[in-house]
């Protein structure tokens, strides 16, 4: 349920059984989880489900997940290893906001939209591999990603939001294919 284990400040591990279909809003926010393996039974992850888990280093979202809330991993400052399932339709608003140890992300081909603030203040992000179907990038999405040097955008891209790459002081090469 929503906020089921929120603020359990000593919770470092969890085994999510195959019977679980939804991880509720804020379910594990502000815990000390180190890694999370979400079972294939899960189809939905609620807003801020793991937000503020400052010890979380590894996350694997399975291919079964088709619905994502906002800010799921917001302020997971230790997060370095992320695997995204191939059925998620979007990188949601503030999904990885302030995950400043994250260095690489592979955006699956299922993603059409990268919403506002999705990777804002991911200071160490150097490698973003855009899926081939990304159509829009929201406002301030990659704001202050100072180590991002080069990006190749999807040929289906039609919209880049305000300040999407603002503060990317290391950015030297952008490839925008003909649409």
- pLDDT at position 178 is 80
- pLDDT at position 179 is 63
Instruction: Return the DSSP state at 128.
Output: E
- pLDDT at position 90 is 98
Residues of the chain with pLDDT under 50: none
Residue with tokens 């997971």: 76
Q: Where are the beta strands (DSSP E) in 89-143?
A: 90-91, 104-106, 113-114, 127-129, 136-137
Question: What predicted TM-score, i.e. pTM, was given to this entire model?
Answer: 0.95
CA distance 22 to 64: 11
Tokens of 120: 């804002």
């Amino acid at each position: 349920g929503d906020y089921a284990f929120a603020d359990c400040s000593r919770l470092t591990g969890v085994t999510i059984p195959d019977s679980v279909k939804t991880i509720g809003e804020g379910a594990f926010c502000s815990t000390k989880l180190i890694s999370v393996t979400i079972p294939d039974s899960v189809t939905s992850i609620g807003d801020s489900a793991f937000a503020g888990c400052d010890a979380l280093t590894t996350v694997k979202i399975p291919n079964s997940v088709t619905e994502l809330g906002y800010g799921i991993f917001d302020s997971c400052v230790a997060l370095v290893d992320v695997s995204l399932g191939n059925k998620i339709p979007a990188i949601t608003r503030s999904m990885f906001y302030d995950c400043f140890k994250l260095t690489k992300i592979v955006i699956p081909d299922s993603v059409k939209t990268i919403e506002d603030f999705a990777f804002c203040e991911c200071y160490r992000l150097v490698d973003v591999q855009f899926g081939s179907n990304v159509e829009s990038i929201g406002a301030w999405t990659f704001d202050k990603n100072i180590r991002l040097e080069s990006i190749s955008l999807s040929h289906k891209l039609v919209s880049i939001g305000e300040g999407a790459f603002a503060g990317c002081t290391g950015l030297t090469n952008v490839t925008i294919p003909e649409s």
